[in-house]
Amino acid sequence: MKKPASKSKKTLSASRDNLRFKVFLGSVALHSALGTCDRLRTACGIVNNKRLRGIGYNGSVSGLPHCDQKGHLIVDNHCIRTRHGEVNAISNTDRKDIRDGQAIVIATPCLDCAKDLAEEGIRRIDYVGSYENSLGKQHLAELAKQKGIELHNHNVDWADFFQELFNLLTQKGGVLKNAGYRLKVTKEPLPENKSC
Ligand SMILES: [Zn+2]
Ligand SMILES: [Zn+2]
């Protein structure tokens, strides 16, 4: 009797870890909407000891105009006006919480950001999708290997992803359950898929 009980406890804890990752990823994805460079709105969350310790999104240095106010600042086909989400996440998180932590990144970290995360002692980077214009991305795997950082790339179907989160909120006691309705996500393709 005891063995199956402990096994199911293990399964429960694994599914709790899985759920936690999804909720944190969803939170980071929502923060990317605050990004001020519309070539790519990104965000990064720093996780340590099962808690989301800090988040950053890409935007200008505080007090300076953003891309959506002044236009992009392009050098070699890269907009260099913003501080990237990872750098802002580092600024927004206690250093001790970054050490041995995990970074969740929307799109592909550029090499400079990966170097900053590595320097702060990040042990694992989970990033979603791939961004073709990410500067130095071809050196990312090598850096991770050299620094012993686990690198995980995720392909996420955002419709399915948010549907799952909305379903969770429709469970007994959840905000949607209490609101008395469920949300259904549908995909409506955009007329034109613009990429940078
Ligand atoms: Zn820009
Ligand atoms: Zn970067």
Q: What is the pLDDT along the chain (196 residues), one digit of tens a residue?
A: 455 556 688 888 889 999 999 999 999 999 999 999 999 999 999 999 999 999 999 999 999 999 999 999 999 999 999 999 999 999 999 999 999 999 999 999 999 999 999 999 999 999 998 877 778 888 999 999 999 999 999 999 999 999 999 999 999 999 999 999 999 999 999 987 555 4
Query: DSSP label at 109?
Result: P
- Domain coordinates of the chain in residue numbers? 16-156, 157-189
> 16-156 maps to which CATH number?
3.40.140.10
For 51-88, letters b (16+ CB in 10 Å) and e give ebbbbbbbbbeeeeebbeeeebeeeeeebebbbbbbbb
Calculate how far, in angstroms, residue 83's C-alpha sits from the geometric centre of ligand 1: 10
Q: Are 1 and 17 in contact (CB under 8 A)?
A: no
Q: What share of the chain is helix, strand, coil (3-state, %, to 5)?
A: 45, 15, 40
Smallest-distance ligand from the CA of 38:
1
Give the N- to C-terminal CA distance of the chain in Å, as an integer.
58
User: Residue 11 has what pLDDT?
Assistant: 87
Calculate how far, in angstroms, residue 32's C-alpha sits from the geometric centre of ligand 2: 13
Calculate how far, in angstroms, residue 73's C-alpha sits from the geometric centre of ligand 1: 6
Calculate how far, in angstroms, residue 41's C-alpha sits from the geometric centre of ligand 1: 9
- Please give the structure tokens belonging to residue 153: 């790339």
- Please give the structure tokens belonging to residue 195: 């990429």
Residue for token pair 């980071």: 28
Q: At what angle do helices 111-119 and 140-147 cross, to 10 degrees?
A: 10
Q: Is the torsion defined by CA of 102, 103, 109, 112 positive or negative?
A: negative
- Please give the structure tokens belonging to residue 165: 């989160």
Instruction: Report d(CA 124, CA 117) in Å as an integer.
Output: 9
Which CA distances in Å does 62 have to 65, 70, 82, 98, 113?
A: 8, 14, 10, 22, 19
Calculate how far, in angstroms, residue 82's C-alpha sits from the geometric centre of ligand 2: 9
